[in-house]
Chain A
Amino acid sequence: MSMSEYEIGRIAEIVAGKVGAQLSPKDLRRVVDTVVDSLKNQQGNLTITGATCEVSGRETEPAHTYSNPQPLPPDQALLREKGGLYQQIEATDSLRIIVAAFGKNRPGVVAAITAELAQLNCSIEDMSQTLMQDFFSLIMVVDIRQCAMDFTALRDRIQSTEAQLGMKVYVMREDIFRYMHRI
């Protein structure tokens, strides 16, 4: 089968449209040549992607590219404001944390934890403590807006007082308490 220049030109256009973006000009030329050769020899089963794989030395190339869906134009877009609880959950993580310490009472517990919080630039919004015989519990709601550290590092820092105090210290984001206990 012979081919005209025009036909070869068309094939080159189709190939470039399909795989042009992922190949260098030199490789693109070789893919076009391979496709043209296969058409001349009437090997009908060669695909452009197949030829691309051959040229670029990759075993197989996926036939599709999996890009994310394009957003609709603004005038056709749906109202997707979630509002209410779902918006609260998804929009932001709470900037308050709950710090709780439980254990045997001893001097300096509150001082040690609050000193750590002050150093980290965290401000205590609310605090409650109870003492039942020897068992002490301390719960604080803490604002971390001014704290430069990310949450996991912050938590590890506060929890590092555990060993020194001989108490169990928990640090959790406020979100979980809000969603569990408020409708």
Chain B
Amino acid sequence: MSYKQEEIIETIHMTQVEHLDIRTVTFGISLRDCSDRDPKHLLANIREKIMTRAANHVKTVEQVSAEFGIPIANKRLAVTPIAIVADGHDKATFIEVARTLDSCAEELGIDYLGGYSALVQKGMTNGDRNLIDSIPDAIACTKRVCSSVNVASTRAGINMDAIARMGYIIKELAEKTPQAIGCCKLVVFANCVEDNPFIAGAFHGISEPETVINVGISGPGVVLNAIKQAGQCDVGALAETIKRTAFKVTRMGEMVGRKVSQRLGVEFGIVDLSLAPTPAEGDSVADIIEAMGLERCGCHGTTAALMMLNDAVKKGGLMASSFVGGLSGAFIPVSEDAGMIRAVEAGAITIEKLEAMSAVCSVGLDMVAIPGDTPAETISAIIADECAIGVVNHKTTAVRFIPVPGKMVGQSAEYGGLLGTAPIMAVSKFSSSNFIRRGGRIPAPASGINN
């Protein structure tokens, strides 16, 4: 037979039992040619372009998913950062743009649309400022629009003015949406990437083509099972097992992405090798760490285990696809990962430990709920810490914090679906206010000046 029986059973087991799925097929559209001085024309241009270009996205993805028997969890859109497209307009117009994006996404059957974004690592234009100020209202009055703001990069340093502002924006957004759910759709980045297919940080970078298809793979469940089957081997052998699994998962992701892109007549961009957990039992990055022999995710040894996992996934994936991009690393969102939630509730994991973990894997402090009365300056200071890790290590880091109004440590906020349940985590009770209020820009680190 051209395939061994084990190979066929393995593939069927992966897709049917171990939750192997494609997390997202994201359609990127450039809106650079939609700019117009007249707000009416701006909105009409954006609408026309999205509705014509992405018209068949959902249908095609569903077709490919049904035909190849691989579940595709999300169909998403990414657009050029709106601060660039609508620069020169006032806050009210920005909110109208968000509404237009939302209605387009709804009509096309898109789950989430990313790109209500600004890139302000070095400084802000008027448009950037208006976009940032409009985020709370724009997210509160839409369902599917996601926002991201890049506040630092290895090349530019850390924009502390923007970080100070973002603390207040996150607080305001929390107040304006029930249980602060809007904060799940806002992420603050350092070293953001232009081809990220994952929400909330997806946007269509300014060096991207007119349209592009990017794919985000998933599959913590598959890796978990492979580790369990590997039994009592040493960590080198464990890394090898993870690498082999990642190869297979990535190959499948690339195949699906290329099938979709070929049927849509749209260029194929990249495969993002992230291990993205879901609240479903067994589909958890924390469970993988625990399966390696740690009693609870977050105990000593977690950072080392995570570093090995992240690296092995990359090595397997890089062999499988020549076009790897996006964030490509393990995600450690708290509320979206059943094992993480258990670890927080058991007191095994704290924000400080998450911060250390974010130095060796993809993104960072993700989907972390904190008490609603946390001062804006404290949130800003946590963002600054996370940015420092990203900037010095030449990697992407991000903060997606949810200050849930009226909730205290020990309680939790229930969001349902892929967003899961967020236990409230403790932050330092000491003030960072005087540092944050200095403002300004932290200069780029010496390691960033490498020409």
Binding site for B on A (CB under 8 A): 49, 59-66, 69, 86, 89-90, 93, 98, 100, 126-128, 130, 137, 139, 141, 151-152, 170-173, 175-177, 179-181
Contact = CB atoms under 8 A, between A and B. Distances in A.
Bin chain B's interface residue count. Answer: 35 or more
The 6 closest A-B pairs by CB, nearest first: A62-B48, A60-B44, A90-B262, A60-B40, A179-B251, A172-B69
Contacts of B59: none
Contacts of A98: 3, 8
B7 A141 contact: no
Q: Which secondary structure dominates where chain A touches chain B?
A: mixed
Contacts of B41: 49, 60-63
Interface string B303-325: 00000000000000000000000
B8 to A, nearest CB: 5
Nearest to A127: B1
Given A98-B8, A177-B7, A181-B3, A89 B254 contact: yes
B5 A66 contact: no
A60 B210 CA distance: 24
A175 B68 contact: yes
B414 interface: no
A64 B45 contact: yes
B104 interface: no
Interface centre among B44, B53, B66 (most CB of A within 10 A): B44
Interface string B180-210: 0000000000000000000000000000001
B33 A176 contact: no
Contacts of B334: none
Interface string B55-91: 0000000000011111000000000000000000000
B5 A130 contact: yes
Nearest to B251: A179
Contacts of A69: 210
A176 B47 contact: no
Nearest to A89: B258
B43 to A, nearest CB: 7
B11 A177 contact: yes
A170 B44 CA distance: 47
A66 B52 contact: yes
A152 B258 contact: no
A103 to B, nearest CB: 13
A138 to B, nearest CB: 10
B118 to A, nearest CB: 24
A129 to B, nearest CB: 9
Interface centre among A62, A98, A171, A177 (most CB of B within 10 A): A62
Contacts of A127: 1
Interface centre among A61, A137, A172 (most CB of B within 10 A): A172
B16 interface: yes
B255 A176 contact: yes
Nearest to A130: B5
Contact of A64 (B2, B34, B69): B34
B12 A62 contact: no
B252 interface: yes
A179 B252 contact: yes
A173 B63 CA distance: 13
Given A89-B255, A141-B2, A177 B69 contact: no
Interface string B248-265: 100110110011011000
